[in-house]
């Protein structure tokens, strides 16, 4: 597995090896020992989640706060997304900066999003299956988010504004300047 740290500390792109033959293919999507050796991070994933989205569905930007903060390892099983991680850690030299990457069922790339980061993705194809592991359990009272199109973030979501489909909850998230860090 190839592991590359992004310019955001502790945020990594993982590229698993794909082994194929006439029968099909095999990939190891996660190995705790290999991950720790290559990143220096010890994570203990507790839950796997999956969503299916049509083209234009944007989920984010979210994080869990306090004792329920979560690190995530995200990937696409089928289809394609633009995946975005925003450093929202207080006192981080890259606070408010983002990293984006196209994840697809074809490229098999994954993104490790550390605790303290906002995360979101937009489906670039219909019937996109998005899967992610988290290292802490969900807690409704610990939900936090920033509106996806906050101008101060400067994220290019690769779609026209009119193509974006949001949940009601995501459509009313605040801008960064209206939040208390």
Q: Does residue 30 contact residue 133 with C-beta atoms inside 8 Å?
A: yes
Confirm whether 172 is domain-assigned. yes
Is residue 153 one of the residues assigned to a domain?
yes
- Tally the residues of the chain: 181
User: 122 pairs with which residues across the strands?
Assistant: 58, 82
Question: Does residue 169 lie within any of the structural domains?
Answer: yes
Calpha distance 154→96 (Å, rounded) = 10
Per residue in 22-66, pLDDT (tens digit) is 999 999 999 999 999 999 999 999 999 999 999 999 999 999 999
CATH number at residue 123: 2.60.120.10
Nearest to residue 59, comparing CAs of 135, 142, 157? 157
User: For the segment 125-177, what is each residue's pLDDT rounded down to a tens digit?
Assistant: 999 999 999 999 999 999 999 999 999 999 999 999 999 999 999 999 999 88
Report pLDDT digits (tens) over 67-76.
999 999 999 9
Does any domain span residue 36?
Answer: no
Task: Say whether 132 is catalytic.
Answer: yes
Alpha carbon separation from 131 to 75, 94, 151 (Å, rounded): 5, 27, 28
138 as an active site residue: the answer is no
């Amino acid at each position: 597995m190839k592991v590359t740290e992004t310019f955001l500390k502790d945020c990594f792109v993982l590229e698993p090896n794909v082994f194929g033959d006439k029968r099909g293919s095999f990939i190891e999507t996660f190995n705790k020992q290999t991950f720790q050796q290559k990143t220096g991070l010890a994570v203990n994933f507790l839950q796997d989640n999956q969503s299916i989205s049509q083209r234009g569905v944007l989920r984010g930007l979210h994080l869990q706060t306090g004792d329920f903060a979560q690190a995530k390892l995200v990937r696409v099983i089928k289809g394609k997304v633009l995946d975005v991680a925003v450093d929202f850690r207080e006192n981080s030299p890259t606070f408010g900066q983002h990293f984006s990457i196209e994840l697809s069922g074809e490229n098999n790339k994954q993104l490790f999003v550390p605790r303290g980061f906002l995360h979101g993705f937009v489906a670039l194809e219909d019937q996109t299956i998005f899967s992610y592991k988290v290292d802490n359990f969900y807690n409704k009272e610990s939900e936090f988010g920033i509106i996806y199109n906050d101008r101060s973030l400067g994220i290019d979501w690769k779609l026209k504004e009119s193509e974006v489909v949001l949940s009601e909850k995501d459509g009313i998230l605040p801008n960064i300047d209206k939040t208390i860090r």
